[in-house]
Amino acid sequence: MCLAIPARIVALNGLEATVDLGGVRKTISIALVPEAQLEDYVIVHVGHAIGLVDPEEARLTLELFAELDASSASESKA
Amino acid sequence: MSKKYIRPLDIKHGRVDMNHGAGGRASAQLIEEIFLRAFDNEYLRQGNDGATLPLPIELLQGARLVMATDAHVVSPIFFPGGDLGCLAVHGTLNDVAMQGARPLYLSASFILEEGYPLIDLQRIANSMGAAAREAGVPIVTGDTKVVEQGKGDGVFISTTGIGVVAAGVHISGDQARAGDVVLVSGTLGEHGVAVLSSRESMEFETTIESDTAALHGLVADLLAALPAGSVHVLRDPTRGGLATTLNEITRQSGVGMLLDESRIPVLPQVEAACELLGLDPLYIANEGKMVVICAPEAEESALACLRAHPLGLAACRIGIVTVDEHHFVQMQTRMGGRRVVDWLSGEQLPRIC
Amino acid sequence: MKYIDEYRDGKLGQQIAARIAAEADPSRNYSFMEFCGGHTHAISRYGVADLLPKNVRMVHGPGCPVCVLPIGRIDQAIDLALNRGAIVTTYADTLRVPASDELSMMKAKARGADIRMVYSVNDALKIARDNPAREVVFFAIGFETTTPPTALALQTAQREKLQNFSVLCCHVLTPAAITHILESPEVKDWHTVPLDGFVGPAHVSILIGSRPYEGFAVQYSKPVVIAGFEPLDVLQAILMLVRQVNEGRAVVENEFTRAVTRDGNAAAIQVVAEVLEVRDSFEWRGLGEVPHSALKIRPEYAAWDAERKFDLHYTQVADHKQCECGAILRGVKRPTDCKLFGSVCTPESPMGSCMVSSEGACAAHYSYGRFRDIPVVSA
């Protein structure tokens, strides 16, 4: 539905910011996420930041994926 | 050059005007002071409308002629890593080389828009001349026309190339066989991304440069290094990218393909730019890369040879040719699932969804 | 790319898939609707369906704003450019959608309509500033993710008194569409479309939060798991749905916690509320008239409302008689059930919107999936 990607803020200029994704830079609006700071990751959609990425939650989610390997397989239903 | 003209062209501030296309003195001056100066070679110095060329000796030994033509209309004309001029030279040289042929001569015809700055035209011409010299292939004849302002996009260039392919070499899009390996000579998507990044409406910054390059040297090395008949198909994935090229080949050869997504080489910045715009690197133009489809026994030597050349450093195998009556190009995704790499019907457009 | 690559890890993906296979009860089927077209695209593009056990099936929902954009609205946009001389700016997604009179925005452009592709609504504002003598209309489509930028642009236009700029507002609302599906006879009464739960949209939820889905879970007893955009997110969400079904639970869970909160983006919600309001009804292609499912521009911004400015009237245009987009969008039929699929209707000559948008169920199946069951044989 909505193509949006996480990118890192590398410069701030009022309600605009420059974000970096894998070395590519783009100027976007942060009018919808005015609290964004330098080095924050924001989700970018059609030239606008629409939300912040929570690094702690990101880490927890990855841990959740990885944990599955460690847990026993005997939970399967008969 | 004889002093035929009262004063030299004002390259710095001058512009193309309708006189330059009329065929008279103004045309001659434009051609001399910009094109002949940039392309200079013995054939052009003959000063005729056509070039008289010696018969390549290989033809007496059963070689065949290869001819290819290409028109170039890229916008913007100047982009990171290149310009319309060198692109026009490389593009046609590559088309000839992809037949397994040694390019010999090029022609170039220009359609110029009234008002186009001479300084930019000179830049393009010099770039072409340099590309031709570096490739060792002279531009031996050409033509120039001027259209009214508004009827052209600055400059359109059409180039034609002639080459020779040795007897017994049969490299063609219909030669891929099930079991063959599919190689690429390097990373994908740079040209398209470089051009997009310099379009005003796109507004993203990247250090990606076009990979535009002449590949005939790489091709010659490859053919020399491998046993005769090992290389079945060569093609450069230009407009429409790798996906389009591979789909063309599967249909021409009546085969299928299975690619491995994790092996397809793409620079991180190209991947990132594609993410940003909602584009797929598989469909983005390349101008200095080629697909090599060869017998499986030749894979190791082919890769070693490619990687030994500056234009093939990142060469790798990306897939195999299969039996498939539907001629699909399939891909094993990094998730372990399978998908088809389809043949796009039109231009790939950035999307919001 | 950080926060992207890690969520595309093939090995982890296969582990999650193994867990789904282990926990899915072999004696029953599971049918989940991924509402969001972006999820449809991700599932196809990464071949996620290959990783699921046979009894877990994904049903494609109508969360593709291009797919649900009715022909009549595209006709309006084309009319503005072709007959009213306006510069019509649009996201690229709409350009190829077939409209009336064998036109599309792209074909209208070939006939001389000044239609320009933009990446962001701010590009449209710039075009308006650069062309004061021309009317510039922005064709605003998309769900809640795409709406706030349009609202911001209208505020900017008002602030700058940009007289030649206006918006043709076709923004649509996710919860209304989900309700419509849950209320449809196939789902509610006849159970011909078994739906055991929803994979909730990733980015829409960043804006609206997870709270709006709580009603569905309660009222219809269907679990909702909001999933991120990457293949691992989708797989994890499917696992969470399987678990809820197995445990007889029906609640809203959030897999995309790194970007979605319960309350959503307050600043964005506020700006949208200030500029736009809910329409009584709006036609969705394939779903018919859906109440309270779309937005229009508030009277305070009337001067920038293209519908008012150009006195536009909406005319409903029927789809091709045999086009099954409607049924497909509701999950009632599959692309291969449509008589036109693959023969008359292909990405090259799309009959309906499901084939035009790369995340439409038909386009996704045609492009990525129609090879299924054809064995790969090497020499």
Flag if B339 and C8 touch (Cβ within 8 Å): no
List the single range of B179-183, B227-231, C35-39, C123-127 with lowest mean pLDDT. C35-39
Which residues does residue C166 pair with via DSSP β-bridges, in sequence order? C137
Domain boundaries, chain C: 5-63+174-254
Whether chain B has a CB inside 8 Å of the CB on C131: the answer is: no
Flag if B339 and C47 touch (Cβ within 8 Å): yes
What's the pLDDT score for residue B205? Answer: 86
Flag if A65 and C36 touch (Cβ within 8 Å): no
Q: Which of B181, B197, B190, B163 lies closest to B306, judged by CA? A: B181
CA–CA min distance C372, chain B (Å): 9
The C-alpha atoms of residue A28 and residue C268 are separated, in whole angstroms, by 15
CA–CA min distance C13, chain B (Å): 6
Task: Dump pLDDT digits (tens) for A7-58.
Answer: 999 999 999 999 999 999 999 999 999 999 999 999 999 999 999 999 999 9
DSSP class of residue C352 equals S
Of B330, B337, B349, the CB nearest to C92: B349
The C-alpha atoms of residue B265 and residue C313 are separated, in whole angstroms, by 51
Domain boundaries, chain A: 5-70
- B166, pLDDT greater than 80: yes
Same domain for B223 and B325: yes
Flag if B326 and C368 touch (Cβ within 8 Å): no
Q: Which residues of C touch B250 (CB under 8 A)?
A: none
Same domain for B189 and B297: yes
CA–CA min distance A18, chain C (Å): 15
Task: Dump pLDDT digits (tens) for B51-69.
Answer: 999 988 888 889 999 999 9
CA–CA min distance B32, chain C (Å): 39
Residue from A1, A16, A33 to probe the interface with C (highest C Cβ count within 10 Å): A1
Flag if B276 and A25 touch (Cβ within 8 Å): no
Q: Which of B207 and C298 is assigned the larger pLDDT?
A: C298
Same domain for B325 and B185: yes
What's the pLDDT score for residue B201? Answer: 66
Flag if B349 and C231 touch (Cβ within 8 Å): no
The C-alpha atoms of residue B105 and residue B54 are separated, in whole angstroms, by 11
Same domain for B144 and B70: yes
Q: Which residues of B touch C40 (CB under 8 A)?
A: none
What's the pLDDT score for residue C376? Answer: 47
Whether chain B has a CB inside 8 Å of the CB on C146: the answer is: yes
| Chain A interface with C: residues with Cβ < 8 Å | 1-6, 8, 21-22, 29, 31-34, 41, 43, 45-48, 50-55, 57-58, 60-62, 64-66, 68-69, 73, 75-77
Interface contacts (B, C; CB < 8 Å): 119
Same domain for B245 and B148: no
What's the pLDDT score for residue B140? Answer: 97
CATH number assigned to the domain comprising residue B301: 3.90.650.10
Q: Which of B257, B96, B266 lies closest to B165, judged by CA? A: B96
The answer to whether the beta carbons of residues B235 and B294 sit under 8 Å apart is no
Same domain for B227 and B107: no
- How many percent of chain B have pLDDT more than 90? 80
Angle C319-C324-C326 from CA coordinates, rounded to 5°: 75
Q: Which residues of C touch B342 (CB under 8 A)?
A: 347, 366-368
Residue B176 maps to a domain: no
ipTM given for this complex: 0.88
CATH architecture under which domain A5-70 falls: Roll (2.30)
What's the pLDDT score for residue C371? Answer: 65
- A74, pLDDT greater than 60: no
Please, how many CA atoms are within 13 Å of residue C105, restricted to the half-sphere of its CB? 26
Backbone angles phi, psi at B4, to 5 degrees: -85, -20
Flag if C25 and A61 touch (Cβ within 8 Å): no
Tokens of residue A24, six digits: 């590519």
Flag if B205 and A26 touch (Cβ within 8 Å): yes
Residues 6+ apart with CB under 8 A from B100: B165, B166, B169, B170, B171, B219, B223, B231, B234
Same domain for B287 and B262: yes
Confidence of residue A77 (pLDDT cuts 50, 70, 90): very low
- Note down the domain range covering B302: 181-340
Confidence of residue B74 (pLDDT cuts 50, 70, 90): confident
Among left, alpha and beta (phi > 0; psi -120 to 50; other), residue C210 is alpha
Flag if B206 and A25 touch (Cβ within 8 Å): yes
What is the number of structural domains in chain B? 2
Flag if B351 and C347 touch (Cβ within 8 Å): no
What's the pLDDT score for residue C189? Answer: 78
Tokens of residue B268, six digits: 């991180």
Flag if A22 and B272 touch (Cβ within 8 Å): yes
Domain C5-63+174-254, CATH: 3.40.50.11750
Flag if C48 and B262 touch (Cβ within 8 Å): no
Same domain for B156 and B245: no
CA–CA min distance B164, chain C (Å): 33
CA–CA min distance A13, chain C (Å): 16
What's the pLDDT score for residue B28? Answer: 92
Flag if B278 and A3 touch (Cβ within 8 Å): yes
Of the residues B138, B165, B192, which one is the last residue of a structural domain? B165
Mark the ranges of chain C whose per-residue pLDDT is less than 50: 373-379
Of C4, C19, C65, the CB nearest to A6: C4
Estimate the crossing angle of helix C147-160 against helix C121-130, to 10 degrees: 20
The C-alpha atoms of residue A72 and residue C246 are separated, in whole angstroms, by 18
For the entire predicted model, the pTM comes to: 0.89
Same domain for B287 and B258: yes
Task: Dump pLDDT digits (tens) for B11-48.
Answer: 999 999 999 988 888 999 999 999 999 999 999 998 88
CATH number assigned to the domain comprising residue B92: 3.30.1330.10
Q: Which of C332, C4, C76, C70 lies closest to C190, judged by CA? A: C332
Backbone angles phi, psi at C80, to 5 degrees: -60, -40
Task: Dump pLDDT digits (tens) for B88-140.
Answer: 999 999 999 999 999 999 999 999 999 999 999 999 999 999 999 999 999 99
What's the pLDDT score for residue A68? Answer: 54
Type of residue found at A10: V
- A76, pLDDT greater than 50: no
The C-alpha atoms of residue B216 and residue B132 are separated, in whole angstroms, by 12
Tokens of residue C243, six digits: 């678990």
Backbone angles phi, psi at B257, to 5 degrees: -140, 155
The answer to whether the beta carbons of residues C353 and C74 sit under 8 Å apart is no
- A1, pLDDT greater than 60: no
The answer to whether the beta carbons of residues B322 and B340 sit under 8 Å apart is no
In C130-229, beta strands by DSSP E: 136-142, 165-171, 197-200, 224-226
E strand or H helix at B232, and its extent?
strand B231-235
Whether chain A has a CB inside 8 Å of the CB on C246: the answer is: yes
